[in-house]
Amino acid sequence: MDKKIIINKNIETLRLDKALSLLDNDYSREYFSYLIKNKYVFINGKNDISPSYKVKEGDIVEYNYQNKESNLNLKPYEFKLDIVYQDDDLLVINKPKGLVVHPGSGHSDDTLVNALIYNKIKLSSLNGLNRVGIVHRIDKDTSGLLLIAKNDFIHEEIAKQLKDHSMHREYIALVDGIINEDNGKIIGKIGRDKENRLKMTIDNKNGKEAITYFSVLKRYKKYTLIKCKLETGRTHQIRVHLSSISHPLVGDTLYKGSNYLYNDGQLLHAYKLTFFHPRIKKEVVLEIPLPEYFKKVLDKLDQE
């Protein structure tokens, strides 16, 4: 058994699922209800109990952690993770370009989630089977930092930081054209494109609020290297916003970016991540360099 708990008097008469979520606050009441219903929880050696069972002083509770709905249907993907930071609660990886974050249409067993299962990393359960551990995501052809939650407590706390914008994600991007302003703020609500469901679009009537800050790092003859900081985190946000000001990402043909300089996806890299660690009560700041494929494009531009 992964865990053994003896019930003490001060939580006597509480529902079993609630008692366990209080005693083991890495996981939610919903998660423990799932464990109990699927007979992964034993009271005094018996597992024929319900989540509403009222615990008594002296009860011996034993249980095994399981991924919600079990991960037996998810095929492990042998893939070496580039781990930038790791502790008992979370890990941050440098996701390579080309790796899909979670299973979906066209990618069922070669995603980051499958790789996490292969590497036997304990994961939060809040988002269900296909998105175990996934708090936020980045697109397949975007590289860079991605935080993975190992338990429900951390998942919930980091999700709060995403919601209140206290978690900061910063990107480096190469865009078409010359941006004359040294810095700026793009505001435009984002929603699903009605004509192409693979795309998002500016929809100030029905879309969700989206704000992106940018600053210019370097100007080339026909391109601009910029740094972007997200205040919100909508799907394709940076891609949509930059296209909306007529400076789409180089290589991003979905949003009208040019592809004669680079034709293997958008040139966008999540290089910096800042968050407050709920367990150790400290700010964590992580930063990584540009990947080689991005550097090669810039080297080529430097030689022109």
CA dihedral 7→123→232→235, nearest 10 degrees, is -140
Residue with tokens 């879309």: 207
Catalytic entry in 24, 139, 141, 152 = 139
How far is residue 154's CA from residue 248's CA, in Å, rounded to a whole number? 35
Query: Based on the number of CB atoms within 10 Å of its own CB, is 190 exposed (0-12), middle (13-18) or buried (19 or more)?
Result: buried
Q: How would you label 224-237 residue by residue, b for 16+ Cβ within 10 Å and e otherwise?
A: bbbbbbbebbbebb
164 is catalytic: no
Retrieve residue 168's tokens: 């900061």
Q: How far apart are CA 300 and CA 304, in angstroms?
A: 7
Residues 6+ apart with CB under 8 A from 21: 27, 28, 29, 31, 32
Q: Catalytic residue numbers?
A: 139
